[in-house]
Chain A
Amino acid sequence: MRFLPKTLALVSALACAGLAQAADIKIGVAEALTGGAAQYGVSIRNGFQLAAEEINAKGGINGNKIQLVIEDEQGKKEEGINVFKKLIFQDKVLMVFGPTLSNSMFAAGPVANAAKTVVFGTSNTANGITDIGPYVFRNSVMESDVLPVTVATATKHYKLKKVAVIYGNDDAFTKSGYDVFKKVLEDQKLPVTTTETYVKGDVDFKAQLTKIKASNPDAVVCSCLAEEAANIMLQARGLGLKVPFIGGNGFNSPKLFEISKLAGEGTFVGSPWSNTNPAPVNKAFVAAYEKKFGGEPNQFAAQGYDALYIAAAALKDVKLTGDINADREALKNALPKATISGVTGPFKFRPAVTKNGKPGGWDADQKPFIYLVKGGKFTLYDAK
């Protein structure tokens, strides 16, 4: 058995050589693939898979192929922490994408930040995500970026003098959307005739809408989920309330107009992504996505797709050494400088403004798309 050490040495030397020549870049993807948040998580994963395939088909990054390590974090905080620990310490990935929900990011993000590993959220819009630390990045455009543009555009288009507001007050998403709307309306000095609320599961909005109608607004600002919004629109028209709606992020679902049909005509909505964006990169993305997955992409798939291209842009400038800690640090330093012109438009990072003044992570610096609803369809608004 004397030859064994030699053979081992030879084998390991070969293995090392192999690594140095064309190593796979292992990137962790932790998304909710089962459970309630799976409708977002699966789209995001699809976006990543499509982008990785394209990048690898073109020869990878500086000759290195991207290898995605995909894990299901089930949209749960505990599972998010478990999956992050597995990806970072066991699989030794270079960086982690995800998790799907903001709540999970608040739980799992600190794990990555403490391990000095880049964590990159594509769908975490809550305030304070990038307060977690300097290793936290996101390309998810927040409502506080989108809504001021939506409201200003609608005000100009309809020459609005006063608006009424309706929102769901027992849902974190619609409530935080309302808080942003409230601030935006104050900032833009648009008077509010009345503010009405409902709770989850409500199907009868007629009392609130009758009151709104009596207050005689020029438009109704609605921080609602698509299902509720559709019913609100239908019932508003039934009561003879004919003014247009201005919607929050909850309106960003094709379902809205499947249900409400033409009741939503004239609605203004802002979104980080538009499938009608005529940029060639977006058209190619929509076509490739439909071919691979047999369905239309949504905003979440688009943001996942762009996120991998952003990381790839940064990795081009990083000289990988094979020392995982050094490589992780190098990526963290290169990422803020990455810019792309992606399917969600031109993208760059901006440093997060943290509450406590400590160094924070990096937020998206991007303009939203504004839609006007025409013929029961989202159409890109052309401010002419």
Chain B
Amino acid sequence: MLEQQLLNALTLGSVYALFALGFTLVFGVLAVINLSHGAVFMVGSYVALALITHLQASLWVAMLGAMLASGIVGLLVDMLILKPLRARNAPHLIPMIATIGVGIMLTSAAQGLFGAEVLRFPEETLPAGEFVIGDVHVRALEIAIVAIAFLLMAVLFVALKRTQLGRALRAIAESPKAAWLLGINVEGLFHITSFAAAALGGIAGVLIGLNFNAITPFMGQPMLHKGIAVIILGGMGDIRGALIGGLFLGFAEVISKAYLSSQMGDAVAFGLLFLILLVRPSGLFGRKLERKA
């Protein structure tokens, strides 16, 4: 039983981590808590579903389409909402509130277009295959989720540490004004970040839609709460933090459901979160508060 539960935890934790990745990226670079990320995640799974059911696209095409579509939504949010607010020097709570509005709009739009009922990917599009090792059952899909989550995190990590783009992004995270004085195209990089973060959210939506096979307009909301917990735990704006935080939350939830009581899952996970923050107020990988990433 323990092996199976650890595997359950790894899958759940990878999903949380993947979701938190885009979330933390936007916070790190734009210093905005983007509360529309849950809705963008939902958009991703609906786009993939529409591509598969209406255009008979393959799963891989659907994933790319979902990344592209959610990326564009993220880009539009940045250009139409966050940019004007930046230009007006809005206090930093304002963009956060504005993104709540975006989230509600996207959720309502999905509800209007697709209805409130739970939709699913057609069965034949799901990657079949199951491995049984002793008493442990693993589906190919679960392996894919963990692999894709870790792969994307590695790519993002290397991109930020090793490339010119990454250096520019880190400079902006340090101080947008100083970066701008150094000749970095700050607005352009804000757009790129918003696009990339939303695309990551979109693919997380597809993977979760595939894994649990339940797509609803409201699927982003619980994920958003978990996502906030993950990035606070990991340290706001930190990529490694999103990974460790996501896995931590997944393990805490599954293990407490397994060995305490299924009623206690969230209580234990969030209780531990509280204790960790008492000891490390800026999260596991968070640095001093005056620095943002």
Residues of A within 8 A of B (CB): 169, 196-199, 201, 203-204, 206-208, 210-211, 213-214, 227, 231, 234, 238-240, 259, 261
Chain A residues with CB under 8 Å of B8's CB are 204, 206-207, 210
Residue in B130, B222, B254, B261 whose CB lies within 8 Å of A238: B130
Contact B118 A234 (CB under 8 A): no
Contact A197 B263 (CB under 8 A): yes
Contact A231 B213 (CB under 8 A): yes
Chain B residues with CB under 8 Å of A204's CB are 8, 12, 211-212
Contact A239 B4 (CB under 8 A): yes
Measured CB to CB, the nearest residue on chain B to A200 is B222
Contact B214 A203 (CB under 8 A): yes
Residue in B123, B211, B222, B265 whose CB lies within 8 Å of A201: B222
Q: Which of B9, B213, B257 has the most CB of A within 10 A?
A: B257
Chain B residues with CB under 8 Å of A213's CB are 1, 4
Can you identify 15 A-B contacts, CB atoms within 8 angstroms?
A197-B261, A198-B262, A203-B208, A203-B214, A203-B219, A204-B8, A204-B211, A206-B12, A207-B258, A210-B8, A211-B1, A211-B262, A214-B1, A238-B130, A238-B139
Chain A residues with CB under 8 Å of B265's CB are 207
Chain B residues with CB under 8 Å of A240's CB are 132, 135, 137
For chain B, the count of residues having a C-beta within 8 Å of the partner chain is 33
Complex CA–CA separation, A234 to B137 (angstroms): 13
The reply on B253 being an interface residue by CB < 8 A is yes
Contact A207 B254 (CB under 8 A): yes
Chain B residues with CB under 8 Å of A206's CB are 8, 11-12, 254
The reply on B108 being an interface residue by CB < 8 A is no
Q: B44-84: which have CB < 8 Å to A?
A: none
Contact A207 B257 (CB under 8 A): yes
Contact B4 A203 (CB under 8 A): no
Q: B221-275: which have CB < 8 Å to A?
A: 221-222, 253-254, 257-258, 261-263, 265-266
Q: What 9 pairs across the A-B complex have the smallest Cβ distances?
A: A203-B212, A207-B257, A214-B1, A206-B8, A196-B262, A207-B254, A210-B4, A197-B262, A203-B214
The reply on B218 being an interface residue by CB < 8 A is yes
Chain B residues with CB under 8 Å of A227's CB are 118, 214
The reply on B282 being an interface residue by CB < 8 A is no
Tell whether A231 pairs with B262 under 8 Å between CB atoms, given A207-B5, A207-B253, A214-B1: no
The reply on B120 being an interface residue by CB < 8 A is yes
Tell whether A210 pairs with B214 under 8 Å between CB atoms, given A197-B262, A239-B137: no
Chain B residues with CB under 8 Å of A210's CB are 1, 4-5, 8, 258
Measured CB to CB, the nearest residue on chain A to B15 is A204
Measured CB to CB, the nearest residue on chain B to A215 is B1
Given contacts A204-B8, A227-B214, A238-B130, 11 further A-B contacts (CB under 8 A): A169-B263, A196-B257, A196-B262, A197-B261, A198-B262, A201-B222, A204-B211, A207-B265, A211-B257, A211-B258, A234-B213
Q: B152 to chain A: closest CB distance in Å? A: 20
Complex CA–CA separation, A201 to B212 (angstroms): 11
Chain A residues with CB under 8 Å of B266's CB are 199
Measured CB to CB, the nearest residue on chain A to B116 is A36
Q: B234 to chain A: closest CB distance in Å? A: 21
Measured CB to CB, the nearest residue on chain B to A240 is B137
Chain A residues with CB under 8 Å of B12's CB are 204, 206
Chain B residues with CB under 8 Å of A203's CB are 208, 212, 214, 219
Chain A residues with CB under 8 Å of B221's CB are 201
Q: A240 to chain B: closest CB distance in Å? A: 5
Contact B137 A238 (CB under 8 A): yes
Complex CA–CA separation, A383 to B12 (angstroms): 43
Complex CA–CA separation, A59 to B258 (angstroms): 64
Measured CB to CB, the nearest residue on chain B to A259 is B120
Chain A residues with CB under 8 Å of B208's CB are 203
Q: B11 to chain A: closest CB distance in Å? A: 8
Contact A207 B262 (CB under 8 A): yes
Measured CB to CB, the nearest residue on chain B to A214 is B1
Chain B residues with CB under 8 Å of A238's CB are 130, 137, 139
Complex CA–CA separation, A201 to B9 (angstroms): 18
Contact B5 A231 (CB under 8 A): no
